[in-house]
Structure 1
Amino acid sequence: MERKKIAISCFIGGALFVVVALKCAPMFWWLAFPAGLAGGYLGYEFREVLRAIPVAWRKSCAWWSEEDEKVRKWSLGELDFFTVFFAIIVFLLFSGMTILAPWFIVPAPDWEFTLPCMIGSFLVVFSFFVVAFILAFPVLGVFFLFAFIGAKAGEKCFWFPFFWYGGEKDKDAERIRKKLELAGYHEEILTSKNFFRWLAKGVGLTILFFVWTAWKYLFIEIGLLLCFLRRFGWELFKLIHSEKRVLCAIDGTIGGTIAFFCFASASLTFPQQILVVFFGGLLGAVIGVLNYEIVSKRLLHLVPMTNNL
């Protein structure tokens, strides 16, 4: 039974080596080495590999959650910057509409100082000012959003809008006020001086976010992902590693290497390539079984002499 497992895994490693070498030849044929090693290593008792994957995944996810929570606590104050994406989209959209609005005011070449022409011109100008007035509200909202960013992220303070008072809103305001004060914020009055100071800080912090903070978070997440993949690979390796897997990885790759260099060429047809792949797997299986039976069992005595049929 053990001999059969080794033969199958070595066959997989050798065949996979030849397949990758044929597809990547001539410049990148060497990519077949890691492919053959991985095929032979993982092909031995593949069910054990499948059972070990969820265990390694859970351990790695637990590590990821712990590290990600540390990063989030460290950068809690800067996460507010992500709200500026919406602000920039709205600002660009309505600014573009405002810039295009004057194009509607095109004087007619036959315009005369008559009542119909005056009424038409008045309607065009009036329409433009109506559009500008409507666009002023979202632009003003963008300014308030920048001021909010400057107040909360820049000075750790907050304010309540003038419409947030009266009736049940007083209770909500008091509840929110206590929550923010417990979080370390202090209340300020919304004056013109404070507003323009917060606005300037909000714009500066937004620029800082796109110049530095966003890239910092991107590189942090990439680093965490690479560490997660390394952790997952290490946990999986600890669960499935054995000397027989190493034997299968090496012997399968040797068989595939011999078959590729002896029989592969650029002029092979597809059926001939299939034969070379099969021969590479078969040669890897033969080398693996001979290595296991002769070298490991009889010469080095790494494996006890038992009946493995």
Structure 2
Amino acid sequence: MKVEDFDFTLPEDLIAQTPLKERESSRMMVLDRNKESIQNEQFTKVVNYLEAGDCLVVNNTKVLPARLLGTKEETGATIELLLLHQKDGDTWEVLAKPAKKFKPGATVSFGDGMLQATCKEDLDQGGKIVEFEYNGIFLEVLDQLGEMPLPPYIKEKLEDRDRYQTVYAEEVGSAAAPTAGLHFTNNILDQLRDKGVQIAYITLHVGLGTFRPVQVETIESHDMHAEYYQLDESTAETLERTKANGGKVIAVGTTSIRTLETIMRDHHKFVATSGWTDIFIYPPYDFQAVDGLITNFHLPKSTLIMLVSAFASRELILDAYKEAVQQRYRFFSFGDAMLII
């Protein structure tokens, strides 16, 4: 299947540059796979589409302020590092920009020497292995010096970094937010609980794959970057009980769906486990874990639009995206939501 099959025309002014004033004020397109119908709603109505006995699965990863701007000690050149994941101790995998100016042995200083990074190894496509030196606690230093790693299509400065975190973010480790969860407020989550909907938490730390476009002509040729996930015993029991009782499992975001489908693929049931997944979901795909999906509107030709096209159908998704453009929905990270049932 060709990557071009997942292209669509998107006016640039529909790319949301800033979050809305209130999280839950987003719009929500509801796509019914069986009826092949589309409804336009407000996100606050999401409560109406879940029933008692259903389980909403959210990704509780927390975004690191992972973007660092520093100065190369040898030349004074400006170097940007984006932290991707911790390898061991103070050794991290990062993206460097410009990568050619940060070779093994070079050192970059941040915050007048408060933090230093020495390049240890070159990787593909601008990736580096670096070792950090600092005094104190690394996460506290990073919180003081780092910026939120907003995607390259967002040009506006983020005034409140908490708006690039979900209200349930807890497990530190992501290089990007699981953006479908940004719409939820504690009020909406409480309404769902009051209705009898279980809220279950998984973790997938969003990594390198989020920042790299598909650069091949055919989908089958694309290699997904691995990301770390974990699911605990309580969530596994909740999900097994939901399925056994005939409830629906509704995943919030493509990160949640990838985690759940990985576990079901490997174990044929929900179990407490952790590991690295490079699962790549595209049409046709037989979903085993998930009955519904809440997601945002994704980039043309991205692995994410391929995933949602596998969950619904390519034709239905592209029709929905065409209507979303006509209805002037907001796209991408700070954009509006889509519920697929």
TM-score, length basis structure 2: 0.17
Which structure is richer in relative contact order (CA contacts within 8 A, separation 6 or more)? 1
TM-score, length basis structure 1: 0.18
Higher Rg: 1
Question: Higher strand proportion, which one?
Answer: 2
